[in-house]
Amino acid sequence: MIYVTAFLEVKPGNRAKLVEEFQKIVPEVLAEEGCLGYVPTIDTADPVVDAQTVRPEVVTVVEQWESPAALKAHLDAPHMAAFRERVGDILENVTLYVTEPTQ
């Protein structure tokens, strides 16, 4: 099992558009073979985490996949290519971290 944390930074004022586009693909991604979880999230001003800085132009996607092969298939899926085409002009930066459990 692997986890992916993806940070998608958009041009100012475009986070709502990115979230809207994510909502369109979430059901397709969750239906993919090997997808165990796929949740786009945004920062929250949490009083428990005093020092947290809210990033108004970032969407963080938390993903869980059965294997690296399942992740590769996801990245190559036609609906993901279409998603990248729709949001490519509003993205500033994408950072991916792929991790695995310690046990």
Dihedral of CA atoms 88, 61, 93, 69 in degrees, nearest 10, equals -80
Print the domain residue range for 26: 2-46+54-99
The domain spanning residue 95 has which CATH number?
A: 3.30.70.100
- Can you give the pLDDT at residue 77? 97
Dihedral sign from CA coordinates of 70, 80, 61, 89: positive
Phi, psi of 92 (to 5 degrees): -100, -40
Question: Band of the pLDDT at 17, cuts 50, 70, 90?
Answer: very high
- Chain-centroid distance, C-alpha 48: 24
- Can you give the pLDDT at residue 54? 84
The structural domain count of the chain equals 1
Model pTM?
Answer: 0.89
Residue 3's alpha-carbon distances to 48, 87, 95, 98, in angstroms, are 25, 23, 14, 6
Asked whether the predicted pLDDT for residue 50 surpasses 80, the reply is no
Asked whether the predicted pLDDT for residue 63 surpasses 90, the reply is yes
